[in-house]
Amino acid sequence: MSLTESKDAMLQIARHCADSYAQASAKGDSSAMVESVTQAKNYARSVSQVSDAILYSGTHIMKQLEAQQQSLRDLDGKVTNVSNSFHNLKTGAGEGALNRLRIRGTRPPTTKWRKIDSATVQPPYLQPYKRIPLQERMGDFDDIGICLQPVARSKVANYVSTPLTP
């Protein structure tokens, strides 16, 4: 039954109640008048209950739709964040993101780092670092040019050829 058909059916029932009341009042039959008024009240109560049920179910459906739309928006935001991250990694703009992907505290084995003194107290992972100069980083060389600290073999030639200042 469509909305228009149900509206027409409701109007017919209301007209029937009004006609029966009019006929009863024309005859002067008070019991028939009371009966028609009771029918009209029952009809109004049932229409009210039906409209309340329709309103409740419509509200419930709207809440479900809003929840689904919100979850879709959240999912869309997550997908956008992931795609932006991959784009940054691909284009090189996400070099910092690549560093964040590494486990904190791991650095290449031949590199030493020194903290820069900072006026503000920051958590350790936010404190800035700077590179230590080559001589300080690699340690002392003896007269023959052999590094006393372990270093990768491929880099020894570069360090040996570097003149040392006392």
Residues 122 and 90 in one domain: no
**Least confident interval from 13-22, 49-58, 125-134:** 125-134
**Residue 28: inside a domain:** yes
pLDDT of residue 91: 60
Q: What is the pLDDT of residue 147?
A: 46
- Integer Cα distance of 38 and 44 in angstroms: 10
pLDDT in tens, 129-139: 555 555 555 55
Does residue 121 sit in helix, strand or coil? coil
Domain span at residue 8 reads: 3-97
Residues 124 and 156 in one domain: yes
In this structure, the answer to whether residues 51 and 14 fall within a common structural domain is: yes
Domain membership of residue 120 (yes or no) is yes
Among 79, 97, 115, identify where a domain stops: 97
**Are both 90 and 112 inside the same structural domain?**
no
> Given 3-state DSSP classes, what are the helix, strand and coil percentages for the chain, each rounded to the nearest 5?
65, 5, 30
Residues 12, 39, single domain; the answer is: yes
Number of domains in the chain: 2
Examine the domain organization and report whether 49 and 16 are in the same domain.
yes
Query: What confidence category does residue 3 fall into, taking pLDDT thresholds of 50, 70 and 90?
Result: low
List the beta bridge partners of residue 130.
Answer: 114
pTM above 0.95, yes or no: no
Structure tokens given for 105 = 């505290």
Residue 166 within any structural domain of the chain = no
User: In sequence order, what DSSP letters do the residues of 52-105 get, joined into one string?
Assistant: HHHHHHHHHHHHHHHHHHHHHHHHHHHHHHHHHHHHHHHHTTTHHHHHHHSPTT
Scored b (16 or more CB within 10 A) or e, 122-132 reads eeeeeeeeeee
Q: Where among 46, 79, 97 does a domain terminate?
A: 97
Claim to verify: residue 86 and residue 138 sit in the same structural domain: no
Same domain for 130 and 83? no
The Cα–Cα gap between 119 and 121 comes to 7
70 and 121 both lie in a single domain: no
Among left, alpha and beta (phi > 0; psi -120 to 50; other), residue 139 is: left
Assigned domain for 102 exists: no
